[in-house]
Amino acid sequence: MRNSARLRAIMSTTTLIIIIVIVLLLGGGGYGFSRRRR
């Protein structure tokens, strides 16, 4: 079935987006917090 292949691609793309968002939140947010504290 070709549907599984399509679902796999969507899942991989979604995972990538989620990882990027987390990295931006942790990196940007963490950096801002550490800068604000000092």
1-38: pLDDT as tens digits: 678 999 999 999 999 999 998 888 887 766 656 566 55
pLDDT computed for residue 10 by the predictor: 95
Measured CA distances, 37 to 26, 27, 33 (Å): 16, 15, 6
pLDDT at position 9 is 95
pTM: 0.55
pLDDT for 6 equals: 92
What residue spans define the domains of the chain? 1-38
C-alpha span between 38 and 20 (Å, rounded): 27
